[in-house]
Structure 1
Amino acid sequence: MSKPDDELPIFQAAVLGLQHLLAMDVYVVPILIATMLGLNFGDKMGIVQATFLAAGIGTILQTGVFMKMPVSQGASFVPLGAIAGIYATAGPKNGMATVFGSLLIGAIAVILLGITHVLPNLIHKFVPAIVGGTIITNVGLSLIPSAVNDDIFEASGNLNTNVMLGSVSALVLLICVWLGLRFVKLGRVFKLGSILISLLIGTGVAAATGAISLKTVAASPWFSLPKFSVTSYGLRFDPFAILTMLIIYMVLMTETTGTWFAVSTVTHTELTNERLNRGVIGEGISCVIASLAGATPVTGYSTNAGIISITGIASKRAFIAAGVWFIGFSFVGKIAALLSAIPDAVIGGVFAVVCVTIMINGLRVVSRQSFEERNLYILGIPIILTMATVLMPTKLIDETPQFVQYLLGSPIAISAIAAILLNQLMPKTRKAIA
C-alpha cells in the first residue's frame, strides 16, 4: 500500500482522485434535502453545486493543511431531519435563512472546540459508543418514512408509476450489492458505484415511461455559479434552531471521529491528539464554508477508507485531486441540472435502502459493546421517542412552543438528547445480558 506522503504523478493522481469522487454519493444528500423541503428546480441545482464546492474545498483543507491525512469531505445524512424540522418551523419565507444561520453558528462552535482541545473529552464523556450507535440507528429509522411515504407514495406524478420507479431503483441497488459480494474483483465496480448505477437506471426507466423530462437539463448552461446562502437566502439566527443544530454537530463530530480512526487504521497513520484537534478545526472551517456556500455540513467520508483498502492507494495527492475535481464540477450547471432532474420516486427507492444500512450500522456499533441491562433503555427509549416524533400529528406539534417545535421537527435531536441523558443517569452495573 502506498503511503499518505507518496508523490504520485499528476495524471495518476487525477485519475485516482476522480475515482474517489465517483465512489462517493455526495450528490445524494443535497438532492434528498431539496426533495424534503420541496425546493424548486433552481434551488435544487444550487444546493447540489454548493455541496460539491464545499466538499472540494473541505477535502483540500483537511488533507493538505489540517489533518494532513487522506480524508475526503462529503455531506452527511445526520442533519437531514433537523434541517427539515427547522425549515418547516421557520416557514418557506425564512426557512433556508434560518437553516444556514444555525449551521453557521454550529460550525463556528466546532472550530472553538478544536481550538480549546476539549472535543475528545466531551465525546468520550457524553457520546460513547453505545450513545453514538443509538443515535446513528435512529438517524436511519427516522428517515425511512420520508423515503417511502414522501418520496414515493405522496410524490408528484402517477402513484403506480412512482411505486414502480422506487421498486426498480431499490432492486438495481440490491443487484449491484449482490454482484459486489458475489464477484470479488469485477464486483468492486458495482459495489462502489451501486448508488450511481441505481439512480442512472431508475432515471432511464423514468424517461422511457415519460415520467421525466430532460428539457430543463438541455436548457441549463454548462457553466453556472452555486446559489450562495448569503446572497440567495440570507442568514437568520434563531436561538432555538441554533441549539438544535449544536446537538446535531455533536453527533456529526462523533461520526466523523469514527471515520478518522478508520482512515488512520487503514493508512497506518497515528491519530495523535494534536492531529485530532487540527482535524476538528478543519472540520469546523469546512462546515463554515458549506453554510456560506449554501450547502449542509460536509464531514469526513467513511467510504474513502474502504476505497483505500481496495486500491492500496493512500497518497494525499489523490485526495487533493479529488477536491479539485469537486470544485470543478460545482461550476458545471448541466451536472447539477441532471442530478436535480432525477424523479423523487427514484431517489426514494435508493434512499430507503440507504436508510436501512444507516440503521444497521448503528446497531452494529451498539452490538460491539458489553450489553448491560441499562443499555436496553439507552437504545430502546430513543427508538420509541423517534417513532413517536415521526408519527406525531401536525396539529399537536403546532400547539407547542417554537423551541419544542424545532425539537419535534428533528427526531434525531430528541433521540440524541434522550440517549445522552439516559447514559448519564442510568446506574452502571457489571452484569451483562447473556
Structure 2
Amino acid sequence: MEFQNKRLVGSTEKLSIGQSLFFGFQSVLACNLFLGPIVIIGIMQMDVSAAAALIAMTFLACGIATIIQSGFFLKYQVIQGMSFAIFGAVIAIVINADFATVFGGIMVAAIILIVLGVTGIFSIVVDKLIPGFVAGTVITIIGVALMPISWNSIIGIPGNPAINFLEAGITFIAMIVFMRLGNIRGKAGRIISVGSVIYAIALGTIVASFFGHVDLSPVGTAPWFAIPQILPFGAPKFDPNAIIVMTFILIIVMVESVGTWFTISEMSGEKLDKKRIDRGVMGEGIGCFIGAFIGGLPVTSYASNTGVLAVTKVFSRYAAIGGGIIAIAMALCPKLMYLIAIVPGSVIWGIYGYICIAIMLSGLSSIKSYPFTERNNLVLGTSILTTIGASVLPASIVQSMPPLLSYLFGSAICVGALTAIIMNLLLRQGKEDHAVLKAQKEESELEAAEEAQATV
C-alpha cells in the first residue's frame, strides 16, 4: 500500500482488488456493523438463533447498501450501517405489533425516500425544515434519547444487578482506555483506534465468562458457511401508522448521512452539490428497501468511517465496495454471527454508553459555531426536555395511546426531532440572532481574506 499516508486518493481513483479489500476491511472494522443489531437484540432479549439471524441479515443489508451507494449513486467512500436513530421506533412497533410490521413500514418509507431523491424534493425539504442548527440538535437528542436505554437495559438483564453493572462498567472503562491509547502517534495508535470497540468487547466478554455469562456451545455447532434465510421474521406487513413513523425516521436518518457526506467532502476536497445529495438519497433509499426486504434494518452512512479516512487519505469509492463485499462474506458465516450473538448484554450496554456520549458530543460539536442566542437555546433546550420526557413515559401510558401516537411517543428521538423542527419554525429569528450571524459571517470573510493574503 505504497500510497497510504503519502497522498490523497480521490473517490474516482481505482484501486487493485487487494487494495480495495484491505482498505475496505479497515473501514468495516472501524464501523463495527454488529453494534446496531446486538443493541436491538439486547433490548428485545431475543434468543441466540433469532439474534444470529438478525445480525446476518444486517451485515448482508449493510454490504449490499454500501456497494449500491458507493458504486452507483453517491460514489463516495461510505460504509452503510444500521442507524441508532431507529431504535425507539423499531422497539415501539415491535412491542405493539411485530418485526414484520417494522419491515413493511421501512419498505414503503424507503420508496418515499427514493421519490424525494429522484424529484429533488429532499434537498429542498432539508433546507427549509432542517437547517444546520436543527440537524445538530437532532443528532444531540439522538445521543440523549439513547442514554436511558443503556441504564434501563442493564437493570433489566436477568441475574445479579451488581455483577451486570460490574461487567458493563469494566467494558465502559476499557473502551475509554483503548480510545485514549488510540491517540498514540504511529501505526500502534492506528491499530488500537480502529479496533478499540472490538478489544473492549473482547475484554468485557472474558470478564463476563468468569461469572458464567458466556455460552460458546451455539458457536461450536454453527456451520462455517450458509445462505442466510430471507425474511426470517415473516412476510412484511403494511400498517399506515408504522409507515408514517418510519418515513419520518428515515428522513432523520438521512440528516445523519448528509452530515457524514459533508465531512467527507471537506476532507477530500470534492464538491458535494445538491445533485449529488439527491443521488445519495436515492441510493440510501434503495439500500433501506433491499435491507428491509431481506430482513435487515435501515442503514445510514457511518461517521466513524471518517476517522479511518482522515488517517489513510484513501477516499476511493472502490475501498467502500471492497468493504461491502467483506460485509456480505461475513453474513455468509453463521459461526461468526453466533459468536457476535453470544456477547453478554451487560458488555453491550457498557459499549453502548460510550456510543451515546459520542453521538451527543458530535451533535453539540456541530452546533457550537451557531450563535447561542435566546431563540437557539430554547430550540435546543426544549428539544432535549421533550426527548427526556418521552424517554421516561411509563410503557402503560404509551401503549394505551392510539397506534400512531403510541409509535411516535415510543420513540423519544421522534418526539425530540419533531420538537426541534416545530420550535425552529415557530420561533422566528430576532435582531439578536441576525446581528450575531452577521458578525460571524464578517469574521469568517475577514479570516478568509487574511489567509488569502498570507498565501500571496
TM-score w.r.t. the length of structure 2 is: 0.90
SS at match of 1:211: coil
Q: Indicate conservation of the 8 Å contact 2:89/2:246, yes or no.
A: yes
Residues 398, 50 of structure 1: CA spacing in aligned structure 2 closer, same or farther, 3 A cutoff?
A: closer
Select the residue among 23, 35, 38 that pairs with 2:45: 38
Matches of 1:267 and 1:62, distance apart in 2: 17
Q: Deviations over 1:227-273 (max 9, x none)?
A: 433x5322111111111111111111111011111112222222232
- Correspondences of 1:271-282 after superposition (within 5 Å): 271-282=272-283
Q: Indicate conservation of the 8 Å contact 1:173/1:195, yes or no.
A: yes
Matches of 2:227 and 2:373, distance apart in 1: 53
- Correspondences of 1:288-307 after superposition (within 5 Å): 288-307=289-308
Q: Deviations over 1:364-418 (max 9, x none)?
A: 2222212221112211112111111111122322332222111110111111111
Structure 1 residue 18: Cα displacement = 1.3
Q: Does 1:211 align with 2:213?
A: yes
> 1:19 is matched by which residue type in structure 2?
Q
Runs of 4 or more off by more than 6 Å in structure 1? none
Select the residue among 55, 59, 62 that pairs with 2:62: 55
Matches of 1:369 and 1:306, distance apart in 2: 24
Q: Does 1:65 align with 2:72?
A: yes
SS at match of 2:84: coil
Residues 316, 400 of structure 1: CA spacing in aligned structure 2 closer, same or farther, 3 A cutoff?
A: closer
- Correspondences of 1:357-396 after superposition (within 5 Å): 357-396=358-397
Matches of 1:404 and 1:321, distance apart in 2: 42
Report the counterpart of residue 143 of structure 1 in structure 2: 146
Report the counterpart of residue 241 of structure 1 in structure 2: 242
Q: Indicate conservation of the 8 Å contact 1:89/1:409, yes or no.
A: no
Q: Which has the larger radius of gyration?
A: 2
SS at match of 2:314: coil
Q: Indicate conservation of the 8 Å contact 2:99/2:233, yes or no.
A: no
Matches of 2:317 and 2:403, distance apart in 1: 46
How much identity, in percent, do the aligned residues show? 34
Q: Indicate conservation of the 8 Å contact 1:43/1:227, yes or no.
A: no
SS at match of 1:119: helix
Matches of 2:377 and 2:121, distance apart in 1: 29
> 2:192 is matched by which residue type in structure 1?
F
- Correspondences of 1:177-326 after superposition (within 5 Å): 177-183=179-185, 185-229=187-231, 232-326=233-327
TM-score w.r.t. the length of structure 1 is: 0.95
* Stretch moving more, 98-107 or 312-321: 312-321
Report the counterpart of residue 414 of structure 1 in structure 2: 415
In the alignment, structure 2 segments of 5+ residues that lack a partner are 1-7, 437-456
Q: Indicate conservation of the 8 Å contact 1:74/1:299, yes or no.
A: yes
Report the counterpart of residue 119 of structure 1 in structure 2: 122
Matches of 1:427 and 1:275, distance apart in 2: 31
Structure 1 residue 185: Cα displacement = 4.4
Structure 1 residue 99: Cα displacement = 0.8
Matches of 1:227 and 1:355, distance apart in 2: 32
Matches of 2:12 and 2:236, distance apart in 1: 40
> 1:88 is matched by which residue type in structure 2?
I
Matches of 2:102 and 2:15, distance apart in 1: 40
Report the counterpart of residue 170 of structure 1 in structure 2: 172
Structure 1 residue 119: Cα displacement = 0.7
SS at match of 1:74: strand
Structure 1 residue 121: Cα displacement = 0.9
> 1:117 is matched by which residue type in structure 2?
G
Report the counterpart of residue 133 of structure 2 in structure 1: 130
Q: Deviations over 1:3-58 (max 9, x none)?
A: 22223222222222211111111110011012112222111111111111111111
> 1:340 is matched by which residue type in structure 2?
A
Report the counterpart of residue 25 of structure 1 in structure 2: 32
SS at match of 1:78: helix
Residues 109, 183 of structure 1: CA spacing in aligned structure 2 closer, same or farther, 3 A cutoff?
A: same
> 1:45 is matched by which residue type in structure 2?
A
The Cα RMSD (Å) is: 1.7
Structure 1 residue 217: Cα displacement = 1.0
Structure 1 residue 218: Cα displacement = 0.8
Q: Does 1:13 align with 2:14?
A: no
SS at match of 1:431: helix
Q: Indicate conservation of the 8 Å contact 1:107/1:284, yes or no.
A: yes
Aligned length: 428
> 1:306 is matched by which residue type in structure 2?
G
> 1:167 is matched by which residue type in structure 2?
G
Q: Indicate conservation of the 8 Å contact 1:372/1:429, yes or no.
A: no
Matches of 1:80 and 1:362, distance apart in 2: 18
Q: Indicate conservation of the 8 Å contact 1:226/1:293, yes or no.
A: no
Matches of 1:394 and 1:122, distance apart in 2: 33
Report the counterpart of residue 424 of structure 1 in structure 2: 425
Matches of 1:62 and 1:202, distance apart in 2: 34
Matches of 1:395 and 1:22, distance apart in 2: 40
In the alignment, structure 1 segments of 5+ residues that lack a partner are none
SS at match of 2:300: strand
SS at match of 1:186: helix
Q: Indicate conservation of the 8 Å contact 2:21/2:322, yes or no.
A: yes
